[in-house]
Structure 1
């Protein structure tokens, strides 16, 4: 089985559409379908059709329940500027789907066990688990995960890390990567995980952002991040 592992789409339908063209038999989605991008409905609708297993991200939770996503800095500015437009573009069914998503999920495939969570098992929605996370933090998270492979998102930074016969993987971000541009993803096949990036028309997506009528500074910083010119 070939499993496509994706996270952090953030309303970027152009990027999601590109990555879903990658060959796959199933999809694992690690949260944050919505917020920031102008096509949250299209993203939720596609994930409802294609994602075999999904978990909720902090932005899915914040948008669905109209609560703080706990973003900070530049991300907080993007959050505030796009929240109302995001909610307006989602249907009641979209919001209900986001509310139903679990925050953590255990999956077994071909005798391999996976733990899916957006942030970290110790704090499924908000805590960051970066590539250089201390060993003592990994020990706690892997104990709670109780799986061969721990899959996380949230940082928007790809990671593949071996630790005590376990593997921790972050596929990066489909819609808003912190490093480079393009739609990032991972693939699990025959017991091996590989990280990848697929190109898409970023300039067309930046043009679509203008439909949100964002403040000039917010639009400029989002465009710079999407084009790989900044790392907020």
Structure 2
């Protein structure tokens, strides 16, 4: 089975449509459907209509609960401003969808234990990056019994083995931050246990048009998408 892993959509419906067109048998989303992008409601609706298992990200939690998102200083003002926009345009069913999202999911495929979460198994605020020290990662995953752990949050795609566990970050669908502007995702082959990182082009001009028409800090948001960082 080809399991499509997506994360950090951030209201970018055009990028979401592009990665969903990749051949797959099933999809799991690691969270952060909202903030930063112009179409959070449409992204929520697509995941709901297709009954895609979805994790709660820190931005999903902040929009649904009014709590702090835990963003870094560089993006905090954008997070706050776009959250007001997001809350204003989401309907009750969409907000309820965010409130009900779980913090993690577990499943077994072909004898391998798979664990899915947003930041780390300890908290959706924790960042696990390609260069995070191994000892730090071991502390984050110490209580998880899994062969593969799938995480998002950092917007940085990687596949990394720590001890007997393989960590997979599919990167960000809607707001990549690794200097590659294409939408990022991963496909996990449950038969071979191989994780492939995939990049996909999408209609960025359409997203820019929506941002300029509807969102605060529009040129700054567009600049982030243009440079992929």
Cα distance in 2, alignment partners of residues 117 and 58 from structure 1: 11
Which residue number corresponds to residue 195 of structure 2? 193
CA gap of 1:203–1:150, structure 2 versus 1, over 3 A, is same
Structure 2: distance between partners of 1:136 and 1:59 = 27
CA distance in 1, matches of 2:66, 2:13: 22
- The residue aligned with 1:133 is 132
- For these two proteins, the number of residue pairs brought into alignment is 226
Note the C-alpha offset of 1:51.
5.2
TM-score (norm 2): 0.94
Residue 61 of structure 1: SS of its match in structure 2?
helix
* CA RMSD between the two structures: 1.3
Give the match's secondary structure for 1:83: helix
Q: Deviations over 1:28-79 (max 9, x none)?
A: 1101011111111100011113354221000000001122112132311111
Matches of 1:203 and 1:227, distance apart in 2? 10
Deviation string for 1:86-134 (max 9, x for gaps)?
01221111111111111112111222211111000122x1011111111
> What is the alpha-carbon distance in structure 2 between the residues aligned to residue 213 and residue 61 of structure 1?
21
CA distance in 1 between counterparts of 2:136 and 2:39 reads 36
Instruction: Map 1:193-232 onto structure 2 (within 5 A).
Output: 193-214=195-216, 218-228=217-227, 231=229
Q: Which range moves more in the overlay, 13-22 or 84-93?
A: 84-93
Q: CA deviation at 1:210?
A: 1.4
Say whether the 8 Å CA contact 2:31–2:60 is kept in structure 1. yes
Show structure 2 runs of 5+ residues with no match.
Answer: none
Query: In the alignment, which residue of structure 2 is the partner of 1:43?
Result: 43
When structure 1 is superposed on structure 2, of 44-53 and 150-159 the one drifting more is: 44-53
CA change 1:108–1:53 in 2 (3 A) is: farther
Does the aligned pair in 1 maintain the 2:170–2:184 contact within 8 Å?
Answer: yes
TM-score (norm 1): 0.93
Alignment of 1:50-69 (within 5 A): 50=50, 52-69=52-69
1:183, distance to aligned residue in structure 2 (A): 0.9
